[in-house]
Amino acid sequence: MAILAPEKGWWQKKVASDEKTWIMFAAVVALALFVLMVGWHLLGKQNPSYIVYSTSPDEFYKLAQANWAKYKVGEEAGIPVVQPPPDADVFVLASTWKWEPVLVLKKGANYKFHVSSMDLLHGFSIQPVNMNFAIHPGYDYVLTFKPTSAGDFRLMCNEYCGPGHHTMIGKIKVED
């Protein structure tokens, strides 16, 4: 009787066994989900990183330029093409409205990505593998990727960043 005060004895009323069974079952599943998240950090291969440095757009820009100069192998659509060796640091710079540089990576190798924004929030979205991260200005987000598939990938922005948002698309090439 949702619009009347509860019946006498409502506080003492025993829980029916179907309701009790359901609640127990649901609680066990909820507990398992918690264990799954923790467990994936120990055993799984896909976990958001928690390595982050405080930076500024100016400082990050300089670091990125120095890094690209070291590994630059060409230019595509006016964007530097960078081919870092396995285990190297890779700097990816988001600004309205482009991703720099174009990356050439090796399948199965680890790369330590540093990603930051020059201005607004951007969304770091690799397609078609569909991995997505939030990129902030002033924070150098360090994500260690190991590409497990080869081919041409795209880097999209999926956080609204103004009227040119839809033109913000970059490229990652993974070689076998």
Residues from 36 through 95 that contact another protein (CB under 8 A): 36-38, 40-41, 44-50, 52, 76-79
Interface with another protein in residues 102-161 (CB under 8 A): 119-121, 123, 125-134, 136-139, 141, 143-149, 154, 156-161
As a residue count, the chain comes to 176
In the bound state with another protein, the residue whose beta carbon lies nearer, of 62 and 160, is 160
Q: How many residues bind another protein (CB under 8 A)?
A: 89
Choose the stretch contacting another protein; rule: CB under 8 A; options: 34-42, 63-71, 82-90. Answer: 34-42
Instruction: Give the nearer residue to another protein in terms of CB position, either 26 or 69.
Output: 26
- Cβ neighbours for 11, distance < 8 A, ≥ 6 positions apart: none
Q: Report how far residue 71's alpha carbon sits from residue 60's, in angstroms, rounded to the nearest whole number.
A: 17
Instruction: Tell the smallest beta-carbon distance from residue 75 to another protein (Å).
Output: 11
Contact region for another protein (CB under 8 A) — 62-70, 85-93, 165-173? 165-173
Which residues 4-33 are close enough to bind another protein by CB under 8 A? 4-7, 10-11, 13-19, 21-23, 25-27, 29-31, 33
